[in-house]
Structure 1
Amino acid sequence: MTEQSIISDDMTLKRLFQDFYRVPDYQREYVWGETNPKGEGGEEVDQFLMDIYSEYENATKDAAPEYFIGTIVVCMGKDDVFELVDGQQRTTTAYLTLCALRDALVELGQSLPEELKGQIASSTVDWQGESIARYRLELQYEDSGGVLVQYAEGNGATADRQSTRSIRNIGNAYRVIREFITSTLKNDPINIRRFHGYLTNKVKIIRIQTPTIAKALKIFETINDRGVGLDAMDLLKNLLFMNAKEAEYSKLKDVWKQLTGEIYAANEKPLRFLRYYLMATFDVDSTQREELIYDWFQKNENLTKHASEPLTFAHRLLEAARAYRRFTTGMNASGGIERGLVNTRTLGGKSIKQHFIILMAGRHLSPTNFTTLCDEVEKTMFVWLMSGTAGKEYERRIVDAAHELRAVTDENFDDFIQRHFKKERAGLAILFRQRLLSLRVGDTRQFRLRYLLAKLTQYVDLQAYGPSQGRDNLDDYFSGGNDIEHILPDHGDPDAITEFGEGGTDQLIIQRLGNLLLIEKSINRAIQNGKYSDKIKIYPQSKYLLTRCQADKASGQVGVADKITKAVDGLDVFPVWNRDAIEKRQAFLARLASRVWDTADEQAVAQT
């Protein structure tokens, strides 16, 4: 490479991790795993994985689509290690993903592909012929504390998670990746190997290599100062302006600026928004690929009128984008809060947005019916996720329903809900119950487990006390002010283990859903890892009825035959805590869940 040359290479992750990289000490720390005040984190990591997975799902036995994750800027160091000037977040996340895939295979007792080992660590020979073992990625900034080495060596389960902000973020990112492997790849060795194959062979990146650090920093500055490009919208923009009258240019330019502003305020990719818009507005099915959207526009002007009425079409697109952006913040198209939308984001994370298709299709509904639609979406989405319905499949069902919903009136709306949501949940009722009966910590994403416990706890309170501003808001239950309590403690005191009896140290028992409850942090600190007979004296201090009545219904009863008493009578209580009690409580929570998420009997629904 000459002194002035800049090399740009389009490469797979397989090719990327044939070289060695370091993040220099002047770089900022890793931030993708950052937690918010609620204790949630890793949304960028989740989005990174789910975007790749959505393309992976489109693979056939003969071919698979490629997926581009962006650009990195590097400069070769004197020791043949690339200095990573730009692209640390995605490179570190990709590297952690390789480590997590390896760790999952090891824990499942599987042999490791040699290629995967080499993508994490290898050796190089210096000019003196000495072999030097290296990890493919090294973090040099002080805040990293050398923690990435622990993940590279396969010690992710015991790695430091607290010492610095960057260490916490890396730990959170690794946790999100392992949850993805468990919940999305089902901890299946075949799925894990296939995903690894797709990740390294079909995920592409552009590496820009410069001769000096100064040149690399200049390119980094140029890339970031240009702002977010609108290339994905350029062709559609050109289609509109080519057909607009000159007198419309000024108005069209203004509408287009607002449109792109709404899309980026929603933190959405333009092509994804356009794809969802087409499926919500026209009879476009879920097989429509993003890269073929512009071909579709060119062939379907008779439907869109984007050439004959470009300004009108741009206004319709802006209206949809404005609604879409509001959906991302839990609001309806008019800007009012929809609890069902807020909750769906809580249970699905930022990466699940397919339900926006049916929300865009249902904007014509009355406010009451749109609220019902949001609530039904929340219930059904959770049942899909817990029953293991693939994203590609539930997207197809959403699109089919959206096509019908466009013609649904408020008068026949109830029939629509019955056919497309209640019957859907009924059809999955048995599988949903089976999954809950066997559910353990780690079988689903941590935030989804918290959502599950929060909804169960909220439901009991609403049955007893009725609606209120606090109880209607799931965040009061889901927030970081509460803990998921292991009733039989994880690493409990000797007295707690002895009192429990057989299985007191068995993680398969300790991590079961039946052994978990939601409790305020202040109370949880008081009970710590003590024995059950002591804990049940403190549980009644909780404001949550389900927690208060864990061992004794008298802790929640008020009056005779009132709503609170009826709610308490419907609870199972457990004065003694042992293996059998955990089994019975898990069955109770599964029954309760069938009411919360309205998974009615399939035969009864079919007869309506």
Structure 2
Amino acid sequence: MAETTEFDHDQLGHLLADHLLEVPRFQRSFSWDESNVDEYLSDLDQARVKKVSYFMGTVVFAVSSDSGGRRQIVDGQQRLATTAILLIAIRDRLRGYGKKKQADAINERFLRGYVLSVDDDVERLILSPKDQFAYDALLEERADDLPSDNPLKACYHACAAHLKKLAPQAKDYRKLLEVSTQVEQQVQVLVAVASDLPEAYVIFETLNDRGADLTTADLLKNYLFSASKHYFNFVESQWTSLESNFEKPDDLVKFLRYEYVSRKGPTSSRKLYRSIQTDVNGSSVRVKKYIQGLIKAQAVYGALREPESPFWADVNVDVRDALYAYRRFGFEASFPVLIAAFQTWKKVDAAKLLVKVAKWSVRAQFAGRLGGGVAEDAFGETAARISDKTVTNQTGARDLLGRIIPPDSEFILAFTTYGDISVSRAKYLLAMLEKASDEKAGRPERALEWYSRNVTIEHILPQSVQNSTADPSVINQIGNLALLEKKLNHQAGSKPFINKRELYEQSQYVLTKDLAAKQDWNAASVSDRTVLLSELACRSWPMA
């Protein structure tokens, strides 16, 4: 591969200006959405403000005898196409401001101009057949001819809106020129040019077969090692120790992001490397401090995933139920908050917050408030405020997390209409409802080892029910599920309800024992029991 492939460093704008490029016809179409484009534009803005270069990864080309002198894009289509569309938007805005000379220069250099070897005006970038019509329309200032859902049109409008905000008046036109100059001189890429497409794909697979997260881990490791200087031996040994705690590279990167978010607030996986690089800023002292912080944070992170960890031995707070809730519901988005609390607060106070966050997360889960970026942003912002000591107690954390914690009325409605519950989650939910029932009735507190294999989930209407009058949609709803000892569940099998009541009577779980008093069980019974359980839900998972 080394004999037939050239490796170099270049700028993204130079690639468009100095070469004729083409997307192979079998490549996927342009697929960046508005969020991808906005992130790119935002990154360019930040780099200009800081007056630093912006690295956009590796671009892989193939140049073969039948390519007509054009480099075929194997990896980098989205970045190159978005950059070209950004330059089209710059050209169009310059023309709108009457800056024809500057607009024509942009067009000639980056988009479409005379090429001596071809002896004609040609497009410097050719996209796939599916995208070329739309790209031609943008080149010819016919964006309005394209359907509203066209991805290239959406990209163009995102760029145009960004430029309008950047240069709202004609007198601001030089800001547009600054962007084109930045793209040509400051947006850095590593370039691999293979002699043919098969060779290019070998390079592409070598660069990408382990995934973007591993690339992030490798980049960060290399950067930290190179910046550690006289602390190299310490940094190397600590990093090796850290890596040994993770089976997969993407698990390591997930932890690295949670740790960063716990101190600095929300950041995406894609921005993680640049964020940490900026934070460390090439200082060997900061590298050492960062590694030391990672080791401490990993102790917390590991304990959050393991209820049996010795980390909890000296905590006089019962965190076991909460930790199992994190595991069974996948509540990891809140980990930055907990890492921050255990790094900043007294351990007992952080443990109490852990229990509260689990309860708030259950509410949010039922209400559908944990999806998307809203919850991650809320947890990230709260974590940063804990780390900078702006938030010093549970009340402050709850106030910041308020947007994802539903009030009682919304929670009860969501609880009663939620639908199917998995067995692993049902065990936790029913156990917490059982504890709330004990508390409400004034019964002594019990240690319910609901996570034990000896505790099972009983489907009151059996899963294998053949009764045509039974509604299959209620089989896995919370109202049709009950905690039952394994030996009793084995005896119950798929018997009719009337034949299982005496087994329910023998259970230690009050909410299960109560079923023995029922004369019949059907869909209406499931609904009634769900409402009954919802009355305990706010006691099980309170806001306060």
Q: TM-score, normalised by structure 2?
A: 0.55
Local SS of the residue matching 1:518? strand
| 1:118-517 correspondence to structure 2 within 5 Å | 231-246=215-230, 248-262=231-245, 264=246, 269-282=251-264, 284=265, 286=266, 288-301=267-280, 306-330=283-307, 334-336=311-313, 338-349=319-330, 352-363=331-342, 364-389=344-369, 390-408=371-389, 412-420=392-400, 423=402, 427-441=406-420, 444-461=421-438, 464-468=443-447, 471=448, 473-476=449-452, 479=453, 481-492=454-465, 504-517=469-482
Instruction: Tell me how far 1:270 sits from its aligned partner.
Output: 3.1
Is 2:506–2:513's contact at 8 Å kept on the other side of the alignment? yes
Unpaired runs of 5+ residues, structure 1, are 6-13, 17-55, 66-209, 211-222, 498-503, 553-573, 601-608
CA distance in 1, matches of 2:277, 2:495: 68
CA distance in 2, matches of 1:406, 1:453: 35
Instruction: Tell me how far 1:433 sits from its aligned partner.
Output: 1.7
Of 493, 507, 511, the residue aligned with 1:542 is: 507
Is 2:260–2:276's contact at 8 Å kept on the other side of the alignment? no
CA distance in 2, matches of 1:306, 1:474: 50
Match in the other structure for 1:11: none
CA distance in 2, matches of 1:290, 1:61: 14
The number of equivalent residue pairs is 353
C-alpha offsets along residues 524-569 of structure 1, whole Å, 9 cap, x if unaligned?
23233333333222211112121112244xxxxxxxxxxxxxxxxx
Match in the other structure for 2:494: 529
Q: Give, as a single letter, the amino acid of the residue that structure 1 aligns with 2:223.
A: L
CA distance in 2, matches of 1:296, 1:434: 41
Larger radius of gyration: 2
Deviates more, 1:393-402 or 1:513-522: 513-522
C-alpha offsets along residues 248-278 of structure 1, whole Å, 9 cap, x if unaligned?
332222122112223x158753332222222
Give the direction of change, closer, same or farther, for the CA distance of 1:433–1:266 in structure 2 (3 Å limit).
farther
CA distance in 1, matches of 2:33, 2:423: 28
Instruction: Tell me how far 1:382 sits from its aligned partner.
Output: 1.6
Larger helix percent: 2
Is 2:214–2:249's contact at 8 Å kept on the other side of the alignment? no
Is 2:479–2:529's contact at 8 Å kept on the other side of the alignment? yes
C-alpha offsets along residues 442-467 of structure 1, whole Å, 9 cap, x if unaligned?
xx544333432333234435662314
Give the direction of change, closer, same or farther, for the CA distance of 1:331–1:413 in structure 2 (3 Å limit).
farther
Instruction: Tell me how far 1:361 sits from its aligned partner.
Output: 0.6
Is 2:258–2:336's contact at 8 Å kept on the other side of the alignment? yes
Is 2:367–2:406's contact at 8 Å kept on the other side of the alignment? no
Q: TM-score, normalised by structure 1?
A: 0.49
Give the direction of change, closer, same or farther, for the CA distance of 1:426–1:235 in structure 2 (3 Å limit).
closer
Q: Give, as a single letter, the amino acid of the residue that structure 2 aligns with 1:252.
A: V
Give the direction of change, closer, same or farther, for the CA distance of 1:493–1:273 in structure 2 (3 Å limit).
closer
Is 1:331–1:341's contact at 8 Å kept on the other side of the alignment? no
C-alpha offsets along residues 367-417 of structure 1, whole Å, 9 cap, x if unaligned?
32122111112112222222112142211111121122224499x514224
Instruction: Tell me how far 1:322 sits from its aligned partner.
Output: 2.9
CA distance in 1, matches of 2:258, 2:345: 19
Unpaired runs of 5+ residues, structure 2, are 5-25, 40-197, 199-207
CA distance in 1, matches of 2:294, 2:387: 16
Is 1:346–1:447's contact at 8 Å kept on the other side of the alignment? no
Percent same amino acid among aligned pairs? 22
Give the direction of change, closer, same or farther, for the CA distance of 1:64–1:297 in structure 2 (3 Å limit).
closer
